[in-house]
Amino acid sequence: MAIYEGAGVALVTPFRESGEVNYEKLEEILEDQIAGGTDAIISCGTTGEASTMSHEEHLDVVRFTCQVVKGRIPVIAGAGSNSTKEAIHLSVEAEKAGADGLLLVTPYYNKATQNGLIAHYTTVANSVKIPILLYHVPSRTGLTMKPETIASLCKNVPNIVGVKEASGNFSAIAQMMNLAGEYIDLYSGNDDQIVPLLSLGGKGVISVLSNVAPRQTHEICASYFAGDCKKSARMQLEAIPLINALFCEVNPIPVKAAMNLMGMGVGPMRLPLTEMEPQNKERMKKALVDYGLMQA
């Protein structure tokens, strides 16, 4: 059984102007997501700015998220690292905190071989009992996992159950699904490709869009699963201008700007990320208005 089906939100981490985590705001946006129909919470991933958190801060956010959610929907904790030892530490502690699953990015910068990837993921998986999703995002990590590598991990390591696919390489994804079949739960890592990946057997999406439009993102998936593929495709296409605005600068700069424009008060990014460029912020305003998420 999949960890979840539908739209999981790659949740932002709200910060105060001082740079500290704003836990009051985090609780508020978690409750808003659950009320909005989100199917899962992904805590401390790329969108959550885990790369600028200390390990203790990272784990405190995961613990707090699990405490607030209280099992109402699954919580999947980002726990990846380019150090296997650090990935094990984050994974073990996230399991202790009550996470329902883990999201483990491919090791970045040091560029492991395919055999190194298998050894890395197998070692981390053997340290925990909860299910693991691989996170394949070559544009961020500089590392591509071959379809055969992903399929091998999902077929041979019991608690590696699927992959968040953000490569955009549909030919490789189709090959992976052909090789792995029922052993792999596929999630889109790109909001503009939800429906195409569902058509290849996907279980849903890990979504940035869901931060501002949880109900609509959930409905894209729910409509597809209910057999109304035309509605799902129409909703996917209607969201494209907003999705493009959400990725016109590096994530999570635009989504935090969007949430602040909507009055959600999630605060700034941590350096080296900076505020959205003025011309792009105007583009974001227009996209939010056109999509019906804010007034002109």
- Torsion from C-alpha of 232, 237, 238, 242, nearest 10 degrees: 120
Contacts of 216 (CB under 8 A, 6+ apart): 209, 235, 239
The structure tokens 């700034």 sit at 268
Q: Which amino acid is at 78?
A: G
Active site residue 135: yes
In sequence order, the β-bridge partners of residue 78 are 103
Element (H, E) at 8: strand 6-10
* 292 neighbors 266 (Cβ within 8 angstroms): no
Count of C-beta atoms within a 10 Å radius of residue 139: 9
Element (H, E) at 79: none
Q: Select from 126, 131, 133, 135 the least CA-distant residue to 108.
A: 135
Cα separation of 171 and 179, whole Å? 12
Please provide the DSSP assignment of 109-171 as one string. SS---HHHHHHHHHHHHTT--S-EEEEE-HHHHS----HHHHHHHHHHSTTEEEEEE-S--HH
Cα separation of 5 and 40, whole Å? 8
Cα separation of 199 and 193, whole Å? 10
Catalytic residue among 4, 25, 121, 135: 135
Active site residue 164: yes
Catalytic residue among 25, 164, 256, 281: 164
Cα separation of 216 and 13, whole Å? 21
Question: Where in the sequence numbering do the catalytic residues fall?
Answer: 135, 164
